[in-house]
Structure 1
Amino acid sequence: MLRLEGLTAGYGGSQVLFGIDLAVGPGEVVTLLGRNGMGKTTTVRAIMGLLPSVGGRVWGGGIALDGQAAAGMAAHRVAQRGLGLVPEGRQVFPTLTVEENLLATAANRSGRTPPRWTLDAVYAFFPRLRERRANPGAKLSGGEQQMVAIGRALMTNPRLLILDEATEGLAPLIRAEIWDVLAKLKAEGQAILLIDKNLAAVTRLADRHVVIEKGRTVWTGTSAELAAAPEVRDSYLHL
């Protein structure tokens, strides 16, 4: 579904990624792990075609979607290929209501008939959003905004869902709710690429992990392999 091979990228004249290798297959949950500033968000931006919008560019290596080259593809073309993004910082539309935020991205990128994700389906996943459907994004709590951000991505009916800092800054109860939602999505066969700092939670959820350091992939493996590799956790994941 998604494959990165030797991806290099940066902003202006500053190189950030020096060789990222990563793959996500249908139905897989894969994490992208590393300390702050190691290139995780830049990797996501490169995948989604967002670097050019901020003066950056993909320099080399490969991004392939379903075996077809996608490096440098415009962001709207990437979205049309079935990638849905829950961005760092949530980025809900502040003046739109919850329902308007959700409907703004509605599409059927999966090609499934009927589509899995409709407004009612998102409300069933997040009952709180139904209660807050008329509230503007700016009036929501951080947890409610994250629910909107996930719901908005699901409303595209993505083939691959990408979450950048899935639970950052959320209260413990909300974090637990988000992890429960992601587990349900995995059980349905939703492919997910996930960034989050909660190592215990991601190792319970994910099939495989990709660890990066200073813009390079330095380790890949399963949750069992990561649990058996304290040197990886100590060298690349702990502050």
Structure 2
Amino acid sequence: MLQVEGLEASYGDSKVLHGIDLSVGDGQVVTLLGRNGMGKTTTVRTIFGLLKARAGRVVIAGTDLTNAAPHRIARAGLGLVPEGRQIFPTLDVRENLLAAARPGQWTLDRVLGLFPRLGERAGHMGNQLSGGEQQMLAIGRALMTNPRLMVLDEATEGLAPLIRDEIWDCLAALKRAGEAILVIDKNIDALMRLADRHVVIEKGRVVWTGDNAALQAAPEVRDRYLHV
């Protein structure tokens, strides 16, 4: 579904991605791991055309869409749950969900069924929701675009433990439904229960990749690259 090859990007004269390679197949869950400031969000921004790639390729469903406009990336099948949620604060829950809706299996009723809490607050404005409810809304809004691949940047950052559990349960349900997911988060234990494969980056370079068994057998990877 998604193939990233040799991706390079810069902020001004400062090069921050140095040849990122990663892939997500249909129905797979892949993590992008690393400490803060190592290039995870920059990788996502470059995939979505929000930051210009200096080199490399972003291939979505067999089509090279490197540096395509963000709306073309979305139409190709990628849905983004951005860092900081970025919901529309002056639209209510229903309006947020419908703002970018596209035809497909994910309808308003289905999203509200996945997140009953949003159904209870359907008439509340975005800025009246708790942080956890806003994250549910951001996930629901991305689902309403009916993506083939969901990308979540800091899926549970800053959320209360009970809300985090709800989000992980939601992502597990999406995996069971066959949704492909690329997820960034710091909760390694939760990610290992969910993901098929992990990609670890350090200073804009991929330094390790492997499945759950390989990561479990490599505590030095967690100690060196993932612990603060």
TM-score for the superposition, normalised by structure 1: 0.94
Q: Which runs of no fewer than 5 residues in structure 1 stay unpaired?
A: 52-56, 109-114
Q: Which residue in the other structure is 1:35 paired with?
A: 35
* C-alpha distance in 1 between matches for 2:116 and 2:54: 43
Is 2:93 the partner of 1:98?
yes
Q: Which runs of no fewer than 5 residues in structure 2 stay unpaired?
A: none
Mapping of residues 168-207 of structure 1, within 5 Å: 168-207=157-196
* C-alpha distance in 1 between matches for 2:117 and 2:144: 17
Letter in 1 for 2:77: G
Q: Which residue in the other structure is 2:45 paired with?
A: 45
**DSSP-derived class of the 1:219 partner:** strand
* C-alpha distance in 2 between matches for 1:66 and 1:185: 19
Letter in 1 for 2:56: G
Which aligned segments of 4 or more residues in structure 1 are displaced greater than 2 angstroms?
A: none
* C-alpha distance in 2 between matches for 1:155 and 1:61: 30
> What per-residue deviation string (whole Å, max 9, x for no partner) do you get for residues 29-70 of structure 1?
00000000000000000011111xxxxx21001111122211
Cα RMSD for the two superposed structures = 0.7
* Count of paired positions: 228
* C-alpha distance in 2 between matches for 1:10 and 1:149: 27
Letter in 1 for 2:119: R
The answer to whether the 8 A contact 2:61-2:76 is kept is: no
Q: Which residue in the other structure is 2:109 paired with?
A: 120
Out of 191-200 and 12-21, give the one that drifted further. Answer: 12-21
> What per-residue deviation string (whole Å, max 9, x for no partner) do you get for residues 51-98 of structure 1?
1xxxxx210011111222111111000000010000000001000000
* C-alpha distance in 2 between matches for 1:40 and 1:46: 10
Q: Which residue in the other structure is 1:158 paired with?
A: 147
**DSSP-derived class of the 1:106 partner:** coil
Q: Which residue in the other structure is 2:61 paired with?
A: 66
Is 2:71 the partner of 1:76?
yes
The answer to whether the 8 A contact 2:27-2:175 is kept is: yes
Identity %: 69
* C-alpha distance in 2 between matches for 1:84 and 1:123: 18
Q: Which residue in the other structure is 1:20 paired with?
A: 20
Q: Which residue in the other structure is 1:238 paired with?
A: 227
Is 2:81 the partner of 1:86?
yes
Letter in 2 for 1:30: V
Per-residue deviation at 1:151? 0.2
